[in-house]
A and B are shown apart, each in its own frame.
Chain A
Amino acid sequence: MTAITYREAMRQAIREALVRDDRVFVMGEDVGHYGGCYAVTLGLLEEFGPERIRDTPLSESAFVGAGIGAALGGMRPIVEIMTVNFSLLALDQIMNNAATLLYMSGGQFNVPLVIRMATGAGRQVAAQHSHSLEGWFAHIPGLRILAPATVEDARGMLWPALCDPDPVLIFEHAMLYNVEGDLADEATPVDIDKAAIRRSGNDVTIIAYGGTLRTALGAAEQLAAEGVEAEVIDLRCLRPLDTPTIVASVARTHRAVVVDEGWRSGSLSAEVAARITEGVFYDLDAPVVRVCSVEVPMPYAKHLEDEAIPQVADVVAAVRGLGA
Chain B
Amino acid sequence: MTKAATSGQSGSESGAADGDRGVHLLREMLRIRRFEERCVELYSRAEIRGFLHLGIGEEACAVGVMEALSPDDAVVSTYREHGHALARGLSMRATMAELEGKVEGCSRGRGGSMHLFDAATRFYGGNAIVAGGLPLAVGVALADHLRGRSRVTACFFGDGAVAEGEFHESMNLSELWHLPVLFCCENNLYAMGTALKYTESETDLSLKAASYRIPARVVDGMDVLAVEAAAREATQAIRAGAGPQFLELRTYRFRAHSMYDPDRYRDKAEIEGWKERDPIPALVAQLTASGALGEGGLDRLEAEIALEVDDAVAFAEAGTYEPLEDLERYVTSEAAPQGRTP
Contact status A69-B140, CB under 8 Å: yes
**B169 CB-CB contact with A under 8 Å:** yes
Q: What residues of chain B lie closer than 8 Å to A101, measured between beta carbons?
A: 117, 125
Using a Cβ–Cβ cut-off of 8 Å, how many residues does chain A contribute to the interface with B?
Answer: 51
* Interface presence of A151 (CB below 8 A): no
Give chain A interface residues in 4-62, CB to chain B under 8 Å.
21, 23, 25, 51, 54, 56-57, 59, 61-62
Q: Number of B residues contacting the other chain (C-beta, 8 Å)?
A: 52
Chain B residues in the interface with A (C-beta under 8 A): 74, 76, 105-111, 115, 117-119, 124-125, 127, 129, 132, 134-144, 146-147, 153, 165-166, 169-170, 172-173, 176-177, 329-337, 340-342
B129 touches A103 (CB 8 A): no
In the complex, the answer to whether B330 meets A102 with C-beta atoms within 8 Å is: yes
A107-B342 in contact given A61-B169, A74-B147 (Cβ < 8 Å):
no
- A57 near B107 with CB under 8 A, answer no
Stretch from A160-168, A265-273, A302-310, A313-321 contacting the other chain: A160-168
Q: Does A97 contact B (CB under 8 A)?
A: yes
- Kindly state the separation between the CA atoms of A76 and B76 in the bound complex, as whole angstroms: 20
Which residues of chain A have C-beta atoms less than 8 A from B169's C-beta? 57, 59, 61-62
What residues of A have a CB within 8 angstroms of the CB of B136 in the complex? Answer: 65-66, 68-69, 72, 93, 97
Q: Which residue of B lies closest to A73 (CB)?
A: B143
**28 residue pairs A–B, Cβ–Cβ below 8 Å:** A25-B146, A57-B176, A62-B166, A62-B169, A62-B170, A62-B173, A65-B132, A66-B136, A69-B142, A69-B143, A70-B140, A70-B142, A73-B140, A76-B342, A93-B132, A97-B127, A102-B333, A103-B110, A104-B117, A105-B110, A105-B115, A106-B330, A108-B107, A109-B119, A163-B337, A163-B341, A165-B336, A165-B337
B330 engages A163 (CB within 8 Å): no
Complex contacts, B134 vs chain A, CB 8 Å: 62, 65
In the bound complex, what is the Cα–Cα distance between A41 and B137 (angstroms)? 26
Kindly identify, within residues 99 to 155 of chain A, every residue whose CB is under 8 Å from any CB belonging to chain B.
101-110, 112, 141-142, 144
Q: A92 with B166: in contact, given A73-B140, A106-B117, A109-B117 (CB under 8 Å)?
A: yes
Determine how close the nearest CB of chain A comes to the CB of B256; give it in whole angstroms: 25
Chain B residues with CB below 8 A from A73, complex form: 74, 139-144, 147
Contact B139 A66 (CB under 8 A): yes
**Cα A164 to Cα B331 with chains together (Å):** 13
Contact of B331 among A67, A102, A163, A165 (CB under 8 A): A102
Please measure, in the bound complex, the distance between the C-alpha atom of A63 and the C-alpha atom of B341, giving whole angstroms: 25
Taking a contact as CB atoms under 8 Å apart, the answer to whether B173 and A57 are in contact is yes
User: Which A residue sits closest to B322, measured CB to CB?
Assistant: A106
Residues of B contacting A219 in the complex (Cβ-Cβ under 8 angstroms): none
Residue A96, interface by CB 8 Å? yes
Whether A57 and B172, one on each chain, are in contact in the complex, defined by CB atoms closer than 8 angstroms, is yes
Assembled-state Cα–Cα distance A141/B333 (Å) = 12
CB of A220 closer than 8 Å to a CB of B: no
Contact A51 B111 (CB under 8 A): no
A107 touches B173 (CB 8 A): no
- Chain A, residue nearest B116 (CB): A105
Bound-state CA distance A68–B341 (Å) is: 19
Given the known interface contacts A104-B125, A105-B110, A107-B108, the answer about A142 and B141 at a Cβ–Cβ threshold of 8 Å is no
- For residue A64, CB closer than 8 A to chain B, the reply is yes
**Which of A21, A67, A96, A102 is in CB contact (< 8 Å) with B139?**
A67
Contact indicator B146/A70 (Cβ below 8 Å):
yes
Most chain B beta-carbon contacts within 10 A, residue among A21, A23, A54, A104: A104
Residues B332 and A59 in contact, CB atoms below 8 Å apart: no
> How far is B105's CA from A110's CA once the two chains are assembled, in angstroms?
18
CB contacts (< 8 Å) of A109 on chain B: these are: 117, 119, 124-125
Q: How far is B111's CA from A34's CA once the two chains are assembled, in angstroms?
A: 42
Please name the 9 residue pairs, one residue from A and one from B, whose CB atoms are nearest each other, closest first. Answer: A69-B139, A65-B135, A73-B143, A106-B108, A62-B169, A66-B139, A105-B117, A59-B169, A163-B340
Contact B132 A63 (CB under 8 A): no
Partner of A69, one of B110, B137, B166: B137
Q: Does B135 lie within 8 Å of A105, measured CB to CB?
A: no
Residue of B nearest to A113 (CB): B139
In the assembled complex, A189 has its CB within 8 A of some CB on chain B: yes
CB pair B139 A142 closer than 8 Å: no
Closest beta carbon of chain B to A156's beta carbon, Å: 12
Q: A189's closest neighbor in chain B, by CB?
A: B340
The reply to whether B110 and A66 form a contact with Cβ atoms under 8 Å apart is no
CB closest chain-A residue, reference B139:
A69
Q: How far is the CB of B123 from chain A (nearest CB, A)?
A: 9
A75 at the interface (CB under 8 A from B): yes
**Nearest CB of B to A252, in Å:** 30
A56 to B144, CA, bound (A): 18
- Whether a CB of chain B sits under 8 angstroms from the CB of A324 is no
Residues in A neighbouring B335, C-beta threshold 8 A = 165
Q: A162 near B332 (CB under 8 angstroms)?
A: no
Q: In the complex, A270→B333 CA distance in Å?
A: 28
**Does A71 lie at the interface of the complex (its beta carbon under 8 Å from any beta carbon of B)?**
yes
Shortest CB–CB separation between residue B102 and chain A, in angstroms? 11
Task: Identify 12 new A-B residue pairs, CB closer than 8 A, beyond the known A69-B143, A105-B115.
Answer: A25-B146, A59-B172, A69-B141, A71-B143, A75-B146, A93-B135, A96-B129, A97-B129, A103-B110, A109-B117, A160-B340, A165-B332
